[in-house]
Amino acid sequence: MNPYVLATLLSSLGLGTTLTFASSHWLLAWMGLEVNTLAIVPLMAQHHHPRAVEATTKYFLIQATAAAVILFASTTNAWITGEWNMTNMSDPIATTMILAALSLKVGLAPMHFWMPEVLQGLDLLTGLILSTWQKLAPFALIIQTSQTFDPLLLTALGLTSTLVGGWGGLNQTQLRKVLAYSSIAHMG
């Protein structure tokens, strides 16, 4: 890959995460998540191998689904409350949908099934970026909006992720899948 293209993609990863961190508006947060997704996809598919292309396609479809749910839920909340502010989440359906979409983006259990298969098809450096840096922005959104979520639901997601990640990693013989389950457990 051309060094200029690589530098642009890596700086776009930083820009998307920074945009999401700095936003208190759902549309800007969604835009930052999308910049992150669109910057990592070429890095994932840079090795023209069928496994890498399959992993990239799976990742893109999962992330696009989660982004569509976030946009739909935040639009629904803005329609009900009259503002796009993240701290004013009064509709319980929109709040639950946003938590489910952010959990899907991060790979929290029970929405973690994509992660071991995607990491298995990538090289270790791209898998490292995917299992660490790509989770920062959605996790920051979960933390920023945690006062609007049901505490029992957040606790259940955390415990489930910890247990699934620990138990799922026990029976693995492939390093990337062990790392994927470790990432799932650490997100819990």
For 101-139, the pLDDT digits (tens) are 999 999 998 999 999 999 999 999 999 999 999 999 999
Please tell me the distance from the alpha carbon of residue 68 to that of residue 154, in angstroms, as a whole number.
22
Please tell me the distance from the alpha carbon of residue 149 to that of residue 86, in angstroms, as a whole number.
12
pLDDT band at 30 (very low <50, low <70, confident <90, very high): very high
Which token pair is 60? 């893109």
pLDDT at 87: 84
pTM of the complete model? 0.92
Provide the percentage of residues in the chain whose pLDDT is more than 90.
77
pLDDT band at 147 (very low <50, low <70, confident <90, very high): confident
Report the chain's mean pLDDT, rounded to a whole number: 92
- Domains of the chain, by residue range, sit at 3-150
Average pLDDT over residues 86-101: 90
pLDDT, greater one: 139 or 148? 139
Q: At residue 149, does pLDDT exceed 90?
A: no
pLDDT band at 15 (very low <50, low <70, confident <90, very high): very high
Please tell me the distance from the alpha carbon of residue 90 to that of residue 151, in angstroms, as a whole number.
15
Average pLDDT over residues 84-110: 91
pLDDT at 126: 92
Kindly write down the DSSP assignment for every residue of 16-59, as one continuous string: HHHHHHH--BHHHHHHHHHHHHHHHHHHHTSS--HHHHHHHHHH
* CA count, 13 A, side-chain hemisphere, 148: 21
Average pLDDT over residues 79-107: 91
pLDDT at 64: 96
Nearest of 106, 67, 124 to residue 184 by alpha carbon? 106
132 phi, psi to nearest 5 deg: -120, -70
